[in-house]
Structure 1
């Protein structure tokens, strides 16, 4: 397809032609309305002038008779640029005036009519047009007074030529403007097309060009660029996950195989085989937990869990997690406390509970004081406490877990929520590095975020999820008078 062919096929050019047609039609209608009103105005001026002269001449006839009428008509007919005058007998014989000939039947028709005529002094044989009024005077005398319509015709010709030139100029400028607009739009669309073609070949770093005008194409390009950034981040994350899975699961799988091989080679009794199988099952359970966490993260990030959302009180979720993990914390020498207030929420209860459980597990594992106490030193109970909170703050529901451990340096917090990431301080503890990643994915699914901040000392991990009024009115009414609960 040629460049001009592409140009005329663009939507911008077609829209320009469409609006050009509408504008030309509007301009022609406006000029036509102006011409019609000009014609009507000239006609009204003629009728007003003629009616005034008819009244004057009729009065002269009534006062001075036929002789006075003829004298007055001859006097008026000699004036330059005068009207048309004609006085005839009842049979149509001309008595006085400046009209040489009329269309047949005009003089016998009383009232207004438009007719062809020739003056007495005209040398050419061409007829002119006039608007005349025929009046019957006493004794049957006919009086015709009229005015030439050449002024009206010339005015109409001037308006018609102006309309023709105006429409021509509008059409030419409209077509040129359409070509300019279509070329500009086509250049931007071609630039976008070239970028998308590079992206389709695998170059996800390409971005659509964004101009400075802020028009609809710029807004579209900005939204598409945001989408491309999200796709690039997802693809990069997928690659990292694949690499991390291959790297982090290779060790437990190898250990699992080696233990099975050792059991076959070295076990000599049923107890040895049973112990080897128990270790194998334990290792397999760890792998299954890792894969379940990955599947849960994938469900959260893809939005598949949105179909299981319901109304519930986040305080009930926090109470359930506290009850579940309190014995585990005590076994590890920690104290698990609970502080809740009514916090109605709309979301996936299972995922939010799992995310909060992950935060509590991390606090139990890594929330011990950074330095071991000296022998004989009394350890403060506050440093061994983990606080679970659930509350509503403005339009946000906050689920937080606070410990008094070493915390996470601010520079590492963004990195800590990535999959399979384990900071140096946590490598001695068992785990897969998916806990914070799952919590972050669940918060994002609900339109919120996972916040990591200092507890001075320690870490505050908070799930901040937007509150939705319409979805939680019932729960809010039920929990409005419930006092704040502290455990």
Structure 2
């Protein structure tokens, strides 16, 4: 009973009931339409038959009078499927015909108009009286008054029309019963299937709310609306799990990676209080502590910015942005920095590259790529100078901003891990930094529906920021669309 009650309360049941009622209404309307038009058509045919029979009796009556008329009627009633005839005298006595009983009011009217009457057949009267039953039939008749107060009735039985009505009624009943049964069966199976799918979604939701974030809604592969809903929900759940996992990783990384500088700051303060009694020593300790405090604040700001970018709450302002202008400005900005560090700096910028993006975020991402190359891309061969090459070009409907160096590079098995927060390789731990630069670049690429690619430069590292081109984007050709910049240590 509980399962039945759940089935009755489902949307499928309500839709099935509405569908059944609509089909019943349409079926009744169709039946009434067919019945009415059939009645009208058959009535017209019957009237035409009666009128033709009346015209056929005119000639025998004109030549033979009542006797000739009676003889003509006798001949006609003996034919198969004969019409109805009745000829009576002024007293109502039967002269000729095949009708045994007729209401006297019909004969009295005798106006020659069409009337629908009940009658009894002459050849069935004796058998019915013997059984104590009297069966009446319907007919369409015309009654005429003849000289000498004779009455002539000519008509046509409506049994065929009544039989057709019965057949249509039986067909309607069978149609309605079959439709209701079929609709009930379809409703039952569909409701059970819908309930099973909904129960699966409910069960999965309960497990997810209980803490099993890896649980997913079943996808049957049928491609129906439930599968589409399940796929969308699973994508949402994967995104939520990814954000929660990132939050957990950030919390763990903060607990582990920020514990060391905080401990170092505490030790420095305690040492200054213990060992330094003069103002200069205490001031120096405070300045060092202030520097590390600024680094911690920068780390927290970077974490907050990455979280906002990944969550889509950074206030991203998308516009058709000429990425070439961003790259050119940053190359001009970092060219003197490279010269001061003794790094050979080259750039090759396609001036027609346009993407849909946020200028501030993309500028930050490109700046991080160049800074990483300058910081960690020192040449491994002392005989060769360090080089950084920045290039922007189009590839398969995407804009590729590539920054390459000739340093130690990143091992292939570490390239995915270095894009996580606070991850730093052993050879870079001596350099200042928090390990958040590539994580921020990856987050910015994700917001712009792009990706960050890391590849080997043999030697060195090639970092590519790949972004979709804007629809209005055009690329410069070989006729001078490239701007070349280079610098060498002075």
Q: 1:52 corresponds to which residue?
A: 52
- In 2, distance between residues paired with 1:213 and 1:482? 54
State the number of aligned residues. Answer: 474
- Equivalent of 1:358 in 353, 368, 378: 368
- Equivalent of 1:432 in 431, 434, 445: 434
Sort the Cα spacing of 1:88 and 1:361 in 2 relative to 1 into closer, same or farther, 3 A: same
Task: Give the TM-score taking structure 1 as reference length.
Answer: 0.88
- Equivalent of 1:403 in 402, 405, 412: 405
Contact 2:305 2:314 in 1 (8 A): no
- Equivalent of 1:260 in 253, 262, 269: 269
Q: CA RMSD in A?
A: 3.0
Aligned ranges 1:175-194 → 2 under 5 Å: 175-194=184-203
SS at match of 2:415: helix
Whether 1:346 and 2:356 are equivalent positions in the alignment is yes
Q: 1:204 corresponds to which residue?
A: 213
Sort the Cα spacing of 1:51 and 1:426 in 2 relative to 1 into closer, same or farther, 3 A: farther
Post-superposition offset of 1:394:
5.0
Post-superposition offset of 1:435:
0.7
Q: 2:302 corresponds to which residue?
A: 293
Please say which of residues 21-30 and 251-260 is displaced more in the overlay.
21-30
Post-superposition offset of 1:140:
9.1
Contact 1:395 1:466 in 2 (8 A): yes
SS at match of 2:345: strand
Task: Give the TM-score taking structure 2 as reference length.
Answer: 0.87
Whether 1:483 and 2:488 are equivalent positions in the alignment is no
SS at match of 2:372: helix
Sort the Cα spacing of 1:52 and 1:165 in 2 relative to 1 into closer, same or farther, 3 A: same
SS at match of 2:416: helix
Whether 1:230 and 2:233 are equivalent positions in the alignment is no
Sort the Cα spacing of 1:281 and 1:169 in 2 relative to 1 into closer, same or farther, 3 A: same
- In 1, distance between residues paired with 2:482 and 2:270? 57
- In 2, distance between residues paired with 1:78 and 1:312? 102
- CA displacement 1:337-367 (0-9 Å, x = unmatched): 2221222233221111111111111111221
Which stretches in structure 2 are left out of the alignment for 5+ residues? 129-133, 486-490
- CA displacement 1:299-330 (0-9 Å, x = unmatched): 11011134433443211211222122223222
Sort the Cα spacing of 1:109 and 1:391 in 2 relative to 1 into closer, same or farther, 3 A: farther
Sort the Cα spacing of 1:482 and 1:261 in 2 relative to 1 into closer, same or farther, 3 A: farther
SS at match of 2:409: coil
Aligned ranges 1:45-444 → 2 under 5 Å: 45-62=45-62, 64-87=64-87, 95-103=95-103, 104-105=105-106, 107-121=109-123, 122-123=125-126, 124=128, 125-134=134-143, 143-340=152-349, 341-369=351-379, 371-373=380-382, 377=383, 379=384, 384-393=386-395, 395-444=397-446
Contact 1:305 1:348 in 2 (8 A): no
Which stretches in structure 1 are left out of the alignment for 5+ residues? none
Contact 1:342 1:482 in 2 (8 A): no
- In 2, distance between residues paired with 1:132 and 1:453? 103
Sort the Cα spacing of 1:141 and 1:460 in 2 relative to 1 into closer, same or farther, 3 A: farther
Contact 2:368 2:441 in 1 (8 A): yes
Q: 1:4 corresponds to which residue?
A: 4
Post-superposition offset of 1:408:
2.3
